[in-house]
Amino acid sequence: MNKQPVFPDEPQIPILPNMLTAGNLLCGFFAILIIFEGMGFTPGSSEAFACFQKATYLIFAACIFDLLDGRVARMCGSDGPFGREFDSIADVVSFGIAPAMLLSKAVLFGLPQPWTWMGWGVAVLYLLCAALRLARFNCMAAAPRKENQSSDFIGLPVPMAAGAVVSTMYLVVYTYETDRILNTGWQIVMALAMAGVSILMMSRVIYPSFKHITFKKKTTATAIVGAVIAICALVAFPWVMPAVLFCLYLLYGLLMRPWLTRRWQARIEAMDDEDEES
Q: Does 186 reside within a domain?
A: yes
Q: Does 147 reside within a domain?
A: no
What is the residue type of 192? L
What is the spatial distance between Cα 102 and Cα 209, in angstroms, rounded to a whole number?
Answer: 26
Q: Does 5 reside within a domain?
A: no
pLDDT of residue 278: 47
The reported pTM is: 0.88
Residues 243-268: tens digit of each pLDDT? 999 999 999 989 888 888 778 777 76
Please, where are the H alpha helices in the chain? 15-39, 46-76, 81-91, 98-106, 116-142, 158-175, 184-201, 220-236, 241-251, 262-268, 273-277
Q: Does 127 reside within a domain?
A: yes
Q: Does 20 reside within a domain?
A: yes
**21 pLDDT more than 90:** yes
User: Residue 42 in contact with residue 48, Cβ under 8 Å?
Assistant: yes
Domain that holds residue 262: 15-139+152-211+218-272
* Domain count of the fold of the chain: 1
Report helix, strand or coil for 5. Answer: coil
Q: Does 39 reside within a domain?
A: yes
Of the given ranges (2-11, 33-42, 266-275), which has the lowest mean pLDDT?
A: 266-275
Residues 73-127: tens digit of each pLDDT? 888 887 888 999 999 999 999 999 999 999 988 888 877 777 778 888 999 999 9
User: Residue 5 in contact with residue 40, Cβ under 8 Å?
Assistant: no
Q: Does 2 reside within a domain?
A: no
